């Protein structure tokens, strides 16, 4: 059952999601060659807790019941999502997708951003740019009276123009008191199909886009998802409330992009 949120509940969701955006900005300050994703995770977890929230990813179980060991997912290069922070230093030319979730005042935040490490090749910069653009094209369709398939269609058609792959096995989701609520929000679809979107629905839209083939596999750590062809992948995510005529974006890239300055793609 899809739980519609009141205006007051949407404001609580906004607070939790703004904290995610601020946390990702703290991470952005540190991303450079030589830093490890474990260092990023430590800073993120401390920042979330200092702000009176809980990192929802930490302890979240996979299908085997194994708890995720960190506060953020850090997925490097051909990792798509759910990468576990580790002690391997990031290198010049890497890309790293950082996904972060919080629980504050009973409501969840969930947002992700893919960062460049130092100078990144033009082809990988394009992958990031197109994936972020596709997120906003999806959001343009997150309005009362449209259908769920309109969001997926907008994302898929934009990315496929560039011959990129749209991951099918992982999708966006409803969000509220729980991090994952119905409905599933695919990044692919047909216009005019799927459930009708209604004011008060809150969803996380999160295109996971691969440079070439969309096939993926689960690594031996039980979490990390990687492309089979080892091509790079990007992931951008916003939590939004379905609005009348316009979506209300509850998370924010503003704090991140203030840190990135003229390096924003
Ligand atoms: Mg997320
Ligand atoms: Mg999500």
* 176-209 per-position pLDDT tens digit: 999 999 999 999 999 999 999 999 999 999 999 9
Q: How far is the CA of 145 from the centre of ligand 2 (A)?
A: 23
Q: How far is the CA of 173 from the centre of ligand 2 (A)?
A: 6
Q: How far is the CA of 110 from the centre of ligand 2 (A)?
A: 5
Q: How far is the CA of 190 from the centre of ligand 1 (A)?
A: 24
User: Could you give the C-alpha distances from 23 to 27, 76, 99, 110, in angstroms and in order?
Assistant: 6, 19, 10, 11
Question: Which residues are near ligand 2, the ion (C-beta closer than 5 Å)?
Answer: 110, 204
Ligand nearest to the CA of 73: 1
Handedness of CA 135, 141, 143, 149 (dihedral sign): negative
Give pTM, 2 decimals. 0.98
Ligand nearest to the CA of 171: 2
Q: How far is the CA of 234 from the centre of ligand 2 (A)?
A: 14
- Give me the pLDDT at residue 234, please: 99
Q: How far is the CA of 72 from the centre of ligand 1 (A)?
A: 9
Residues of the chain with pLDDT under 70: none
In this structure, are strands 95-104 and 72-76 parallel, antiparallel, or unpaired?
antiparallel
Q: How far is the CA of 204 from the centre of ligand 2 (A)?
A: 5
* 223-265 per-position pLDDT tens digit: 999 999 999 999 999 999 999 999 999 999 999 999 999 999 9
- Give me the pLDDT at residue 17, please: 98
Q: How far is the CA of 194 from the centre of ligand 1 (A)?
A: 22
């Amino acid at each position: 059952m899809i739980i519609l949120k009141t205006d007051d509940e949407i404001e609580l969701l906004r607070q939790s999601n703004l904290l995610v955006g601020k946390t990702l900005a703290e991470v952005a300050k540190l991303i450079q060659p030589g830093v490890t994703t474990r260092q990023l995770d430590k800073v993120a977890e401390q920042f979330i807790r200092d702000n009176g929230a809980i990192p929802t990813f930490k302890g979240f179980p996979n299908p085997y019941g194994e708890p995720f060991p960190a506060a953020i997912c850090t997925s490097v290069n051909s990792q798509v999502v759910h990468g576990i922070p580790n002690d391997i230093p990031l290198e010049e030319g890497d890309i790293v997708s950082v996904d972060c979730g919080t629980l504050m005042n009973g409501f969840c935040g969930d947002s992700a951003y893919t960062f460049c490490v130092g100078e990144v090749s033009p082809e990988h910069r394009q992958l990031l740019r197109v994936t972020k653009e596709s997120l906003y094209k999806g959001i343009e369709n997150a309005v009362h009276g449209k259908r769920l398939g309109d969001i997926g269609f907008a994302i898929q058609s934009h990315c496929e123009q560039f011959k990129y792959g749209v991951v099918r096995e992982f999708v966006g989701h409803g969000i509220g008191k729980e991090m994952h609520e119905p409905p599933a929000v695919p990044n692919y679809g047909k216009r005019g199909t799927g459930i009708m979107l209604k004011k008060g629905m809150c969803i996380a839209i999160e295109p996971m886009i691969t440079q070439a083939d969309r096939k993926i596999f689960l690594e031996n750590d039980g979490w990390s998802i990687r492309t089979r062809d080892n091509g790079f992948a990007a992931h951008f995510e916003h939590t939004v409330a379905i609005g009348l005529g316009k979506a209300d974006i509850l998370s924010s890239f503003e704090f991140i992009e203030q840190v990135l300055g003229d390096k924003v793609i």
